[in-house]
Structure 1
Amino acid sequence: MPDNERVVTETMMPVNGIELCVETFGEPGDPALLLIAGATGSMDWWDDEFCRRLAAGGRYVIRYDHRDTGRSTSFPAGAPPYSDVDLAHDALGVLDALGIHRAHLVGLSMGGGLAMRIAVERPHRVLSLTVMATSANFPSYGLGQADGEPQWSDRRSAVEGIVAAARRLGGPFTADDPHLRRLAERVFDRTQDMTAAQTNHFRCAGGPSVRERLGEITAPTLVLHGTLDPLFPLAEAQTLCDEIPGARLVRLEGVGHEFPPAAVWTQVIDEIIDQAGRRTQPA
């Protein structure tokens, strides 16, 4: 379905004293799969067709706008009154609002760090864990921001800034500029405060580190990592596999620091669905 013909079926849900915008794909009776985006990432970055294909694999797919992105509650730019622990609790709050106790977690970049925190601190909520383009050292990671911030409140400037960042962090399979521009326009048009969306996640407080507790993770764990990631080299992914019991590494050839490009959807979706069927590690 072309972007301009997409029917929006979003729901605002009360979560942890704020409102988060949530959208689901598939049958509620299927095992839940929660997609957790990276810093500044609204749900739009999880492509509609990618979500539909995951749902076709027998998963109840859930995506949502982090606080300070999309239609979710926004706070003053530069002064976020929350930590990454609150962002992790938001993910669990989305599941609670949907009446879901356990889910398969799929997190990218910052979302991977949040998913690992949940897997360490709330293991009973996690059926399986998939992390992409992330690091064992989260949240101490390179932000990948360019010199000279766009004027985020200006639609044209913001769109160009988003496209430039996606191009800078991506690889040969990154979508072309017209596609990225349409996506950036959709992101801008759905976002309450674009300046807050592009800055607050990088300025929020960090909670207690789970870096030394990765060995406590019992959920079956998959690490997906692009071979061209300019923020986190493959060594970061290998470190995760070394420290999380039973974790397996799948290299995404030609992929940068980005949401899965269409060229690798079949590989990524097959791996996520397969991961969801693996057994939990013994405690």
Structure 2
Amino acid sequence: MTSVRANGVELGVETFGRDDDPLVLLAGGTTMLSWPDSVCERLAAGAQRVVRYDLRDCGASTTLDPEAPAYRLRDLAADAAALVGTLGAATAHLGGVGVGGMVAQVAALDHPNAFSALTLVSTRPVAPGPVDDDLPDHDAATMDAVFSRPMPDWTDRAAVAAFAADGADLLGNVPEQARATAARIWDRTPSSEPSVQQANQLAMVFARLDCRPRWRERLGELILPTLVVHGRADPFFPVGNGEALAAAIPAARLLVLDEMGTALRDAAADEVAAAMLAL
């Protein structure tokens, strides 16, 4: 892992594969670890140069104030486009998980020449906040259960990892995978400040972003090959969001994984990587 400067900020990156292979650029949701090692390794084995990276205020990227971000969603999209050039590529297959998937949609719309393909995982075609009437919102009972739990001591690595594992079943995820990922995120967070640790674990910063203007009405402009991956067991962005996203993008293919919740599972790495390589 290292960091590179793009669009005026430092972005934490990690590379898999050979530098002269086609670039697959993967934007994280909370951090780059939203993209499991298993998926990155299988893409690299398919002759791709895989670079996963932390969005601003996450992981090894520039972190200022996660509680009051002084940038917009479109700035994060511009980061992705700038990163392609910084990494020495002409274009990239861009992937995003969760809010990273929103970044990827806007990046492909605003910077079409920078991207050759798109993979959107566990995301939706509108910003955080109130959802359009035709899209399913967060499952209310699940969200009540998730957010009624006492918050951990964010400075205690073991407590944070246990908190992630405890909530995994509610979100359709694998407890031990969630525990391991949370511990790695904690280790990579450069500050011991509780607000920064919480932002890295729960992506709190993204709920505070200015995401205007809307981009859903522009999705028909996307003509690049697109894969939409969604879990049927996702209670945060229920599967209807992925279905609507795939229907709005002319060249999109929808891959629904029956056992998946909000997070990519190691067990699905072969299927997801194969679908991405087929674009």
Into which bin does the TM-score normalised by the smaller protein fall? 0.7 to 0.9
1:4 alignment counterpart: none
Partner of 1:264, secondary structure, is helix
Q: Does 1:251 align with 2:256?
A: yes
With normalisation by structure 2, the TM-score equals: 0.85
CA distance in 2 between counterparts of 1:152 and 1:205 reads: 26
2:189 alignment counterpart: 191
CA distance 1:161–1:207, shift in 2 (3 Å): farther
CA distance in 2 between counterparts of 1:162 and 1:57 reads: 32
Q: CA-to-partner distance for each residue in 1:92-121, whole Å, 9 max, x for gaps? A: 232222122210011111111111111211
**Number of equivalent positions:** 259
1:13 alignment counterpart: 4
Tell me which moved more, 90-99 or 117-126.
90-99
Contact 1:35 / 1:107 at 8 angstroms: preserved in 2?
yes
TM superposition shift of 1:269: 0.9
Contact 1:74 / 1:196 at 8 angstroms: preserved in 2?
no
Which AA in structure 1 matches 2:271? Q
Q: Does 1:114 align with 2:103?
A: yes
Please, which of 28, 31, 35 is the counterpart of residue 46 of structure 1? Answer: 35
With normalisation by structure 1, the TM-score equals: 0.84
2:134 alignment counterpart: none
Which AA in structure 1 matches 2:268? V
Q: Does 1:212 align with 2:210?
A: no
Q: Does 1:23 align with 2:25?
A: no
TM superposition shift of 1:16: 2.4
Runs of 4+ in 1 over 4 A off after TM superposition: 141-145
Contact 1:130 / 1:272 at 8 angstroms: preserved in 2?
yes
Please, which of 264, 267, 282 is the counterpart of residue 268 of structure 2? Answer: 264
Contact 2:35 / 2:97 at 8 angstroms: preserved in 1?
no
TM superposition shift of 1:128: 0.8
Contact 2:93 / 2:118 at 8 angstroms: preserved in 1?
yes
Aligned Cα RMSD in Å? 2.0
TM superposition shift of 1:201: 2.2
2:25 alignment counterpart: 34
Contact 1:33 / 1:104 at 8 angstroms: preserved in 2?
yes
Contact 2:27 / 2:94 at 8 angstroms: preserved in 1?
yes
Contact 2:84 / 2:114 at 8 angstroms: preserved in 1?
no
2:147 alignment counterpart: 146
TM superposition shift of 1:151: 3.0
2:69 alignment counterpart: 80
Contact 1:113 / 1:139 at 8 angstroms: preserved in 2?
no
CA distance 1:165–1:94, shift in 2 (3 Å): farther
